[in-house]
Structure 1
Amino acid sequence: MSRRIPVSARVIAAVGAGLGITLAAFAFLSKQSRGDAAATPAADAAVAAVEQYSLAGLIVKVRLSERADDARLIIAPSVDGKPVTQGVDVRATLTRPLGSPQTLRFVTSGSELVSDQAIAKPHVFDAALDVSWQGKSGVFAFARNDGAVVLSAQQMQTGDIALASAGAGEIVSILQLPGEIRFNDDRTAHVVPRVGGVVERVPVTVGENVAQGQVLAVIASTDLADRRSELLTAERRLAAARVAYEREKSLWRERVSAEQDYLQAQVQLREADIAARSAREKLAALGASASAHALNRYELRAPFAGTIVEKHATAGEAIAADSNIFTISDLSTVWAEMAVSAQQLGAVRVGRQATIKAAAFDSRSTGRITYVGALVGEATRSGSARVVVPNPDGVWRPGMFVDVAVEAGRIAVPLAVANDAVQDIDGAPSVFVESKKGFIAQPVTTGRRDARTVEVVSGLSAGQRFVASNSYLLKAELGKLSASEE
Structure 2
Amino acid sequence: MNTNSSKSTISKKHLIAIAVVLAIGGGAGTFILQGGGKPKAAATEDDGHGHGGHTEAKGHGDGEHHGKGSEKGHDDDKGHADGEHHEKSEAKGPHGGTVFKEGDFSLEALLSEDGGEPRLRIWLSDKDKPLPLNAATVTATVTRPTDEKQKLTFAAEKDSLVSREIVAEPHAFDIEIIAQTATEPFMFVMSKEEGKIELTDAQIKAASISLDAAVKANIKTALLLPGEIRLNEDRTSHVVPRLAGVVESVNASLGQVVKKGQVLAVIASPTASEQRSELQTAQKRLSLAKTTYEREKKLWEQKVSAEQDYLQAKQALSEAEVAVANANQKLSAMGLSASSVAGLNRIELRAPFDGIVIEKHLSLGEAVKEDAAVFTISDLSQVWAEINVPAKDLPSVRVGEKVTIKATAFDASATGTVAFVGALIGEQTRTAKARVVLDNPKGAWRPGLFVNVEVVSEETAAPVTISADAVQNVGEKPVVFLKVDGGFIAQPVKLGRSDGKRVEVLSGLKAGMPYASTGSFVVKSELGKGSAEHTH
Indicate the SS of the match to 2:525: helix
**What is the CA deviation profile of residues 99-128 of structure 1, one whole-angstrom value per residue up to 9, with x for unaligned ones?**
244343333333333333222333232333
Q: Is the CA contact (8 Å cut-off) linking 2:214 and 2:465 kept in structure 1? A: no
Shift of 1:474: 2.8
Indicate the SS of the match to 2:89: coil
Structure 2 counterparts to residues 387-466 of structure 1, below 5 A: 387-389=436-438, 392=442, 396-398=446-448, 404-436=453-485, 438-466=487-515
Q: Is the CA contact (8 Å cut-off) linking 2:224 and 2:454 kept in structure 1? A: yes
Q: Is the CA contact (8 Å cut-off) linking 2:220 and 2:456 kept in structure 1? A: no
Q: Is the CA contact (8 Å cut-off) linking 1:31 and 1:142 kept in structure 2? A: no
Q: Is the CA contact (8 Å cut-off) linking 1:175 and 1:408 kept in structure 2? A: no
What is the identity, as a one-letter code, of the residue corresponding to 2:397?
A: V
Q: What residue number does 1:338 align with?
A: 387
Shift of 1:287: 6.6
What is the identity, as a one-letter code, of the residue corresponding to 1:53?
A: F
Shift of 1:144: 1.9
**What is the CA deviation profile of residues 65-116 of structure 1, one whole-angstrom value per residue up to 9, with x for unaligned ones?**
3689732233344567654444254433333332244343333333333333
Shift of 1:191: 0.6
Q: Is the CA contact (8 Å cut-off) linking 2:229 and 2:445 kept in structure 1? A: no
Q: Pick from 154, 162, 171 the counterpart of residue 220 of structure 2.
A: 171
Shift of 1:152: 1.1
- Identity over the aligned pairs, expressed in percent? 40
Is 1:28 the counterpart of 2:73? The answer is: yes
Q: What residue number does 1:71 align with?
A: 118
Shift of 1:161: 1.6
What is the identity, as a one-letter code, of the residue corresponding to 1:313?
A: L
Give me the TM-score of the superposition, normalised by structure 2.
Answer: 0.63
Q: What residue number does 1:324 align with?
A: 373
Question: Residues 432 and 132 (structure 1 numbering): CA distance in 2 closer, same or farther, change over 3 Å?
Answer: same
Q: What residue number does 1:128 align with?
A: 176
Q: Pick from 94, 106, 116 the counterpart of residue 164 of structure 2.
A: 116
In 1: Cα distance, 2:531 partner to 2:445 partner:
45
Shift of 1:325: 1.8
Q: Is the CA contact (8 Å cut-off) linking 1:37 and 1:136 kept in structure 2? A: no
Question: Residues 40 and 362 (structure 1 numbering): CA distance in 2 closer, same or farther, change over 3 Å?
Answer: closer
Q: Of the two, which has the highest radius of gyration?
A: 2
Structure 2 counterparts to residues 241-252 of structure 1, below 5 A: none
Q: Is the CA contact (8 Å cut-off) linking 2:221 and 2:497 kept in structure 1? A: no
Q: Any unmatched runs of 5+ in structure 2?
A: 1-69, 286-321
Q: Is the CA contact (8 Å cut-off) linking 2:146 and 2:513 kept in structure 1? A: no
Q: Is the CA contact (8 Å cut-off) linking 1:90 and 1:129 kept in structure 2? A: yes
Question: Residues 472 and 27 (structure 1 numbering): CA distance in 2 closer, same or farther, change over 3 Å?
Answer: closer
Q: Any unmatched runs of 5+ in structure 1?
A: 1-24, 238-273
Shift of 1:291: 5.3
In 1: Cα distance, 2:203 partner to 2:486 partner:
18
Shift of 1:350: 1.5
Shift of 1:386: 0.8
Question: Residues 96 and 484 (structure 1 numbering): CA distance in 2 closer, same or farther, change over 3 Å?
Answer: closer
Q: Is the CA contact (8 Å cut-off) linking 1:188 and 1:330 kept in structure 2? A: yes
Is 1:348 the counterpart of 2:397? The answer is: yes
Give me the TM-score of the superposition, normalised by structure 1.
Answer: 0.68
Question: Residues 338 and 133 (structure 1 numbering): CA distance in 2 closer, same or farther, change over 3 Å?
Answer: closer
Question: Residues 68 and 390 (structure 1 numbering): CA distance in 2 closer, same or farther, change over 3 Å?
Answer: farther
Count of residue pairs the alignment pairs up:
437
In 1: Cα distance, 2:445 partner to 2:353 partner:
21
Q: Pick from 177, 180, 192 the counterpart of residue 240 of structure 2.
A: 192
Question: Residues 436 and 387 (structure 1 numbering): CA distance in 2 closer, same or farther, change over 3 Å?
Answer: same
Q: What residue number does 1:371 align with?
A: 420
Indicate the SS of the match to 1:469: coil
Is 1:208 the counterpart of 2:255? The answer is: yes
In 2: Cα distance, 1:47 partner to 1:204 partner:
91
Shift of 1:186: 1.6
Q: What residue number does 1:51 align with?
A: 98
Q: What residue number does 1:182 align with?
A: 230
Q: What residue number does 2:155 align with?
A: 107
Is 1:311 the counterpart of 2:346? The answer is: no
Indicate the SS of the match to 1:107: strand
Q: What residue number does 1:477 align with?
A: 526
What is the identity, as a one-letter code, of the residue corresponding to 1:130?
A: I
Question: Residues 83 and 480 (structure 1 numbering): CA distance in 2 closer, same or farther, change over 3 Å?
Answer: farther
What is the identity, as a one-letter code, of the residue corresponding to 1:318?
A: A
